[in-house]
Amino acid sequence: MTFQTEFEFTLPKGYVDSEGNLHKKGIMRLATAADEILPLKDPRVQANPAYLTVILLSRVIIKLGDLPVIDTRVIENLFASDLAYLQDFYGRINDSGSASIRATCPKCGHNFEVEPYSQGE
């Protein structure tokens, strides 16, 4: 059994670049201790602690569509629903090591796992 460190995702809305291209599919890697600690020294985080999310996601998202670089400007320009999705996705893969969501059938009580929300697939 191999240890999974990278997880594919599909944004609910998608990132629109400066040329109007839509980027929805991406890959996020597991965070390291440095990913969570080093941004705390950044003056933008010290001035506004909410900015930690922007820096953290820019460090762990290794692919988004065919963008050559995922930096803080990309994360800043995501739609709010996509940012919320990525925050939740980050928490799931780093807490449980899985992108799946545990669910229970309301009729029969069966427990199962489902892949995260991805509209249009």
Question: What does the pLDDT read at residue 106?
Answer: 77
Q: What is the CA 4 to chain-centroid distance, rounded?
A: 16
67, two tokens: 């963008």
Query: Whole-model pTM?
Result: 0.79
Mean pLDDT, consecutive 10-residue segments, the chain of 121 residues?
Answer: 88 96 98 95 95 97 97 97 97 76 70 52 42
φ, ψ at 24 (rounded to 5°): -115, -35
Q: Which of 109, 119, 93, 52 is nearest to 101 (CA)?
A: 93
φ, ψ at 9 (rounded to 5°): -145, 165
Question: Would you list the domain boundaries of the chain?
Answer: 6-114
